[in-house]
Structure 1
Amino acid sequence: MTDREKHGQDSADQSSRELTLGGSWAMGVGGMVGGGIFSTLGVVIAVAGEWAWASFVLGGLIALATGHCMAALTVSSDKAGGIYRFLRDEGFERTARLSAWVLILGYTLTVAVYAATFGSYLGNALGGPAWLPRAMAVAAIVVLAGVNLRGVGQAAGVEIAIVWGKLVILAGLAVLGLAHFSPARLAQDGNFGLFGVVVGAASVFMAYEGFELLAYDYDDMIDRKRQIVRVMPLAIGAALFIYVALALATPMLVSPSMIVSDGEVALAKAGQAALGTFGLLAVTVAAALSTGSAINATLFSTARLAREVAQENELPHVFARRNSKGSPYVGVLVIAALAIAMAVIGGLAALVTGASVVFLLVFGTVDLLAWRQDRAHPWIAGFGTFGAGLAILVLVAHLSGWIA
């Protein structure tokens, strides 16, 4: 590449930085508060009982520690790429390449599951033929891929609107429940304690997966070094707050046993119990907004991860191409197409639960690298490393049936 071409590329990169603090915050929150809270609340209550809220707190603290470490490492390298970039800078090129492939495939799978959840909620509310939920899942991916192809500003603007819409509805549901708060309503039969809290935190950690997407958006941020340090705790803190509020509020509206048995529609049942048909529809809208924003944020960030990796010849260079709007369009289209195929095939829930191990391993590795390199506060990096490691062990034992 000639000096003139490099200068032109640098100018194009600079002019494409349109992601404001509000936009990046929405991308982070949208990536986390996606389909997770709608399907994990029953899971965590089943293993942690009245201490389900503490499981969300513990998981959130690990996520906050990892966000701190990820921001510190990203600022230090001053490049996008997340765990791929960190491993490559340490000289672990093969491991870095493998991590990129695993993450891209994992995020594509996540887009498919979010889309399937989107279709299921709307299909349940509207009724209709059996093929309708999958058709809606495909439509959601197609529409949001189109939004991403229109560039950073369009994708971020849509994300801000969707995130605030769903947070208003979820916050309203939390207020309705907390207005009738009674500690006795949290309790259910069984012995739950500290161990149940740890199992719950490990099982529910997929609800916090998504903040790391911000490390892939780094090159699109305005005042990026300052912004990524600020946005990580803001995004993770918002997700933690809404999860804890809902874990405390939902049992005030429907019984814990019903939350466990109803699974991913538990919040819809809670909305119906609070406000009748209007509540059911409101929560269904929140579920649609949540999964829609998660699809948008994950497509946006994963395509940028693929672009960064392709620029270093670890993926086909076609993934580095951008359209006139600055969007890495090949990555968007390929990820969307694969996600559509997965959403139509279905049966992915068990794989996504197992993917929690992968994401915890990634987060633990980030914390360990920051600790080794002395890039982050040592106590925070140490807590994140041991917290993620313990969660991996507990989750593997739980999934294998060694512990309940």
Structure 2
Amino acid sequence: MNENSNKEEKVSLKEAISIGIGGMVGGGIFAVLGLATDLAKGGTPISFLIAGAIALITAYSYAKLSVSFPDKGGTVKFINKGFGITVFSGGINNLLWISYIIMLSLYASAFGSYAPNLFAITNSQTLDAHIYGSVIIIIATLINYYSIAVVGKIESIAVIIKLVILLAFVAIGIYGLSSSTHLEQLSISNWESPLNLVVAGMMIFVAYEGFELIANAAPDIENPKKNIPKAYYGSVIFVIFLYIIISIITVGSLDFDEIATAKDYVLAEAAKPMLGTIGFTIITVAALISTFSAINASLYGGSRVSFELSQDDELPHQLTYQLWNQPIGLLITMVATLVLVNTLQLESISTAGSVGFLLIFACVNYVGFKLHKEIKSNKYITLIGCLSCSIALLTLIIKQFTTNRTNVLIAVGIVLFCFLIEFIYKRNEKNKAAN
């Protein structure tokens, strides 16, 4: 009986791939597609390819580390394994928690942008996008407090629904491109400069970050040596192709001016030329389901990160306390998300999220390089991953600093805040020990 029970608890390869795909195809593509197109124009598919290539190289480091150090702490454990329990590792891990909060803000902003369209279709009175975003955060938090099992069920159903709708969109969109009058927008003459293509890719890098959730499931994946790498590579490669095709359909179906006007809900707008109001409605519903499920899962993930950090003595032990049978970090995550979603613009949120994850992934790749003998990895691939993330991060910061300094200051300020909090905490703990 025990053996059967253990087998049932194991995560299959199919389920592990679903975790990766579900983590990436959450609210990201709905939130940042318009932003990417605004920056890269006809070269938007190339920007998604650039971002995807960096995600795939980083997935190599994650795969090797997950096989060697399977732990529900995932990224937190990898950083601590490579750097020890230090102010630096604590700062990076704090940044992971904050990055979850930033992603929640991104998803809530996307929900808030799509929701008014649904009510407009039904001729109902619409509210401010911030209200929709705030309400959905509160509802998802209540669901997390009510039952984690319900969160899991919502995620399982949502992954199927959003993939079916997006794949249908792709199939119909490819057919519709044959009669589109906007295909010339994809020509090289309509691409932005190579630098802008890279910057656009880094701005929307947050749409790929979800593959790291596979690391948290690593201890439960069956036949881990074979299935963990397959889960990472399979999910990332699938999503790269999905994003590229979606961006081709979008740029090939709508005029650039139409894309700019509907930037916050451009995927729904792209369905109009093919299916009219019905297509617009279906994609809007898919966006609402996707962003809601992503918020649900990210709230749980964020609260778990804060719990892990507290257990590892990188944040106060009070964060291990329970409030209504859930870590206190869940409530803190909700409040912080409400603050960000009501104070920052979508572009600022996306920039901060990309800066955070590029820095985190650069560090994970470095850990893969540093421990290459122990984890049996190719040190050159992990080094390339570290350098790619670092160069992409610097490119994004420098370019954004010349065009939108506020976004960079917010992103850098968040990073510094994470390290400052860790420094103050470690110093206080040291002073307590000395006394």
State if a TM-score over 0.5 links the two structures.
Answer: yes
Describe how 1:188-337 pairs up with structure 2 within 5 A: 190=190, 192=192, 194-218=194-218, 221-223=220-222, 225-226=224-225, 228-320=228-320, 328-337=326-335
Say whether the 8 Å CA contact 1:23–1:160 is kept in structure 2: no
| More displaced 10-residue stretch of structure 1: 89-98 or 271-280 | 89-98
Q: For residue 287 of structure 2, give the secondary structure of its aligned residue in structure 1.
A: helix
Shift of 1:92: 5.1
Counterpart Cα distance in 2 of 1:62 and 1:197: 14
Counterpart Cα distance in 2 of 1:272 and 1:84: 43
Tell me the equivalent position of 1:368: 366
Describe how 1:128-207 pairs up with structure 2 within 5 A: 131=127, 133-149=129-145, 153-181=149-177, 184-187=184-187, 190=190, 192=192, 194-207=194-207
Tell me the equivalent position of 2:384: 383
Q: Quickly say closer, same or farther: Cα 1:19–1:93, change in 2 above 3 A.
A: farther
Say whether the 8 Å CA contact 1:55–1:197 is kept in structure 2: yes
Shift of 1:69: 0.5
Q: Quickly say closer, same or farther: Cα 1:114–1:320, change in 2 above 3 A.
A: same
The CA deviation string for residues 179-202 of structure 1, in whole angstroms up to 9 with x for no partner, is 143653523865646444323322
Tell me the equivalent position of 2:407: none
Tell me the equivalent position of 1:122: 115
Shift of 1:360: 0.7
Shift of 1:170: 1.6
1:76 aligns with 2:68: yes
Counterpart Cα distance in 2 of 1:105 and 1:16: 34
Q: Quickly say closer, same or farther: Cα 1:233–1:155, change in 2 above 3 A.
A: farther
Counterpart Cα distance in 2 of 1:19 and 1:132: 41
Shift of 1:82: 3.8
Shift of 1:63: 0.5
Say whether the 8 Å CA contact 1:211–1:235 is kept in structure 2: yes
Counterpart Cα distance in 1 of 2:356 and 2:295: 19
Shift of 1:243: 0.4
Counterpart Cα distance in 1 of 2:13 and 2:321: 26
| More displaced 10-residue stretch of structure 1: 140-149 or 188-197 | 188-197
Counterpart Cα distance in 1 of 2:248 and 2:159: 21
Counterpart Cα distance in 2 of 1:29 and 1:276: 28
| More displaced 10-residue stretch of structure 1: 246-255 or 127-136 | 127-136
Tell me the equivalent position of 1:6: none
User: What is the TM-score normalised by the length of structure 1?
Assistant: 0.84
Counterpart Cα distance in 1 of 2:134 and 2:196: 37
Q: Quickly say closer, same or farther: Cα 1:237–1:157, change in 2 above 3 A.
A: farther
Tell me the equivalent position of 1:400: 401
Shift of 1:165: 0.8
Say whether the 8 Å CA contact 2:102–2:353 is kept in structure 1: no
Say whether the 8 Å CA contact 1:17–1:222 is kept in structure 2: no
Shift of 1:345: 4.6
Q: For residue 210 of structure 1, give the secondary structure of its aligned residue in structure 2.
A: helix
The CA deviation string for residues 61-103 of structure 1, in whole angstroms up to 9 with x for no partner, is 2111112212322332333334432332232511111122222
What amino acid sits opposite 1:120 in the alignment? S
Counterpart Cα distance in 2 of 1:266 and 1:154: 30
Tell me the equivalent position of 1:8: none
Q: For residue 57 of structure 2, give the secondary structure of its aligned residue in structure 1.
A: helix
Tell me the equivalent position of 1:33: 25
What amino acid sits opposite 1:286 in the alignment? A
| More displaced 10-residue stretch of structure 1: 48-57 or 390-399 | 48-57
User: What runs of 5+ residues in structure 2 fail to find an aligned partner?
Assistant: 1-5, 405-435
| More displaced 10-residue stretch of structure 1: 27-36 or 238-247 | 27-36
Shift of 1:281: 0.5
What amino acid sits opposite 1:265 in the alignment? Y
Counterpart Cα distance in 2 of 1:235 and 1:33: 10
User: What runs of 5+ residues in structure 1 fail to find an aligned partner?
Assistant: 1-13
Which of 93, 99, 110 aligns to 2:103? It is 110
Say whether the 8 Å CA contact 1:163–1:289 is kept in structure 2: no
1:353 aligns with 2:346: no
Say whether the 8 Å CA contact 2:79–2:93 is kept in structure 1: no
Say whether the 8 Å CA contact 1:19–1:152 is kept in structure 2: no
Say whether the 8 Å CA contact 1:58–1:201 is kept in structure 2: yes
Tell me the equivalent position of 2:422: none
Q: Quickly say closer, same or farther: Cα 1:364–1:173, change in 2 above 3 A.
A: same
Q: Quickly say closer, same or farther: Cα 1:191–1:87, change in 2 above 3 A.
A: closer
Say whether the 8 Å CA contact 2:113–2:265 is kept in structure 1: no
Counterpart Cα distance in 2 of 1:53 and 1:170: 16
Identity, % of aligned positions: 28
Q: Over the residues paired in the alignment, what is the CA RMSD in angstroms?
A: 3.1
Q: Quickly say closer, same or farther: Cα 1:225–1:145, change in 2 above 3 A.
A: farther
Say whether the 8 Å CA contact 1:307–1:331 is kept in structure 2: yes
Which of 53, 64, 78 aligns to 2:45? It is 53
